[in-house]
Amino acid sequence: MRHLDAELSQLKEKLLAMGGAVEKSVEHATQALLLRDLSRFKEVYALEAEINRSHVEVDNACVNLLARQSPMAADLRLIIAVIKINADLERMGDQAVNISHNGEYYLAWPELKPLVDIPIMAERVRVMVRAALDAFVKLDEKQAQLVLECDDEVDQLKQKIFLDLLGVMKQSPENVERGLNLILVARNLERIGDHATNIAEDVIFALNGVDIRHRGIARP
């Protein structure tokens, strides 16, 4: 086994450990909200510190590896993918923190409504994150494609949650704050799904050097 291979597999493990922490963080943030269990937000803040440390470590390891080994082709693409995935994971961690902030406000009030479709959306996003990390571990293009396909469904769920909550907010001025908090949580979840999509795209790039972002470029 080349020395570089050993270093690359160490790097992947480091990134995966970070991915695991991010997954847990998202899980705690959403469960805190769904179960009205404030103690779980503390876990999110503790995990954030861990995620931030890993973020810096992974970046440094990549720069080091590039400098010492001057990797080529597939190895080079993998390291660049790790740099990008690392940034996405760190921002997913930030979104879990944002969910916690919004959730803490929300839980200070009596329950508004059974959270409309937020539990379903949270579950879908959790599956996306897991699948994106899986695609990275196995460098599996099919799995990565599955993640991309989930993104539309998550967007539709968010749209529906927005409309439902707008209706609730209009019923009474008392509902406005809580409705807004939940809308912001739905946005945080959507962004986590977006980052999972970015990770899937980076996996595909690492695999075949094809950049699939912005295909069929003309959005609206």
Binding-site ranges for a copy of itself (CB under 8 A) = 45, 48-49, 52-53, 55-56, 59-60, 62-63, 66-67, 70, 72-73, 76-77, 80, 83-84, 87, 97, 101, 166, 169-171, 173, 176-177, 180, 183-184, 187, 211, 213-214, 217-220
Nearer to a copy of itself, 128 or 206 (CB): 206
Q: How far is the CB of 126 from a copy of itself (least distance, A)?
A: 23
Nearer to a copy of itself, 104 or 127 (CB): 104
Q: How far is the CB of 212 from a copy of itself (least distance, A)?
A: 10
In whole angstroms, what is the distance from residue 131 CA to residue 162 CA?
Answer: 26
Q: How far is the CB of 29 from a copy of itself (least distance, A)?
A: 13
Residue among 160, 180, 159 at smallest CA distance from 170? 180
Nearer to a copy of itself, 61 or 121 (CB): 61
Is the CB of residue 5 less than 8 Å from the CB of residue 28?
A: no
Q: Which residues, in sequence order, are CB contacts of 138 under 8 Å at separation 6+? A: none
Nearer to a copy of itself, 35 or 49 (CB): 49
Length of the chain: 220
Q: What's the Cα-to-Cα distance from 87 to each of 19, 58, 82, 93, 201, rounded to whole Å?
A: 11, 10, 9, 10, 14
